[in-house]
Amino acid sequence: MDEGKGSNAGYVYVLTSSQTNLIKIGGTDYPPLKRIREINSTQPYKNLGPWTLADFRQVTDWRATEYALHYTFRSKFAQEVSGQRELFRLSQQAASEHLQKIDSAQILGKPKVDRLFQDEVFAAFILKLFSFTGLTHWLDQQGAWTFVLFPSTNRGRYFTINIGPHEVAFSTLPRKMAPAVHMILMDKLILDFEEVGHWLRNHSGGISENAYASALPRSASIHFEGTFNDVNEFFRLDGVRRALIAYWSEALIGLKERDSLSAFSRFHNWNAVAEIHARLKTASNQ
């Protein structure tokens, strides 16, 4: 799944902090989750933090891309802050515009990102899913949660989302004479909503309690057949968002407290998440 990565593959990122109008532009060969922790505990960045992830790309040569960004913004370098080489008096928007201009040949996993957004129905659903679940509020925790596009798992899927050691959502590719199957993991409080059970029975679905040995207590795996329009209809049922957020938020908070990465972090599509985040942000500003 991570074909094309070389020894120079890694990440370039833009960090922001509410404590300063400066931004940090840097790069790393390991997930930003770990790098941000280092930055927030290291001078002189520590005094201006805490820093959070505002934008990012996964690239074939992070050192070359980082150098190019630093060179582009050299006139904006914050010389008044000693002991650093990565702070700039620049808006996050301006930096993000340059991330958008990175040569597509440098972007890892781009064919899958293109495939996602070429399928308008799938793309609309994914934007809805990320908005509905609030995953874009957890950008710093990428690697603890993962978004994998078009994995070959179980005869093929559109996507899989993992939080920690197990799946919390996926949609299979439809096969000849067989519709797509969708799974969403949430809290058992969903059992209190009779309308949900009725809806699932009408969509060849059901609820499996404690389906994953590694899941938190009170987990309920929801599965059903249908289109992405059917999933959107399911989201509108009373109790669904409450039960989903209850499980996903607790799981993410636990991983943050334990400083844990998912076993699937190497398959995470950073560039897809970057594009999803950018599109949702644009939509919210309109």
What pLDDT, on the 0 to 100 scale, is given for residue 110?
94
What pLDDT, on the 0 to 100 scale, is given for residue 285?
82
CA 284 → CA 92, 116, 124, 229, distances in Å?
17, 21, 15, 22
Please give the distance of CA 269 from its chain centroid, rounded to a whole number.
8
Domain boundaries along the sequence of the chain: 10-106, 110-285
Q: What is the pLDDT along the chain (286 residues), one digit of tens a residue?
A: 344 456 799 999 999 999 999 999 999 998 898 899 999 999 999 999 999 999 999 999 999 999 999 999 999 999 999 999 999 999 999 999 999 999 999 999 999 999 999 999 999 999 999 999 999 999 999 999 999 999 987 679 999 999 999 999 999 999 887 899 999 999 999 999 999 999 999 999 999 999 999 999 999 999 999 999 999 999 999 999 999 999 999 999 999 898 888 888 889 999 999 999 999 998 988 7
Rounded Cα distance between 185 and 247, Å, is: 8
Q: Which residues contact 25 (CB under 8 A, 6 or more apart)?
A: 12, 13, 14, 15, 66, 69, 70, 73, 86, 88, 95
What pLDDT, on the 0 to 100 scale, is given for residue 4?
45
Give 203's DSSP letter: T
CA-wise closest residue to 149 among 100, 106, 175, 115: 115
Please give the distance of CA 76 from its chain centroid, rounded to a whole number.
30
Output b/e per residue, 18-45; b: 16+ Cβ within 10 A: eebebbbbbbbeebbbebbeebbeeeeb
What pLDDT, on the 0 to 100 scale, is given for residue 2?
43
What pLDDT, on the 0 to 100 scale, is given for residue 36?
93
- Tell me the backbone φ, ψ of residue 43, rounded to 5 degrees: -75, 150
What pLDDT, on the 0 to 100 scale, is given for residue 5?
57
Mapping DSSP to helix (H, G, I), strand (E, B) and coil, where does residue 225 land?
A: strand
CA-wise closest residue to 108 among 260, 279, 275: 275
| Inter-residue contact 57 to 102 (CB < 8 Å) | yes
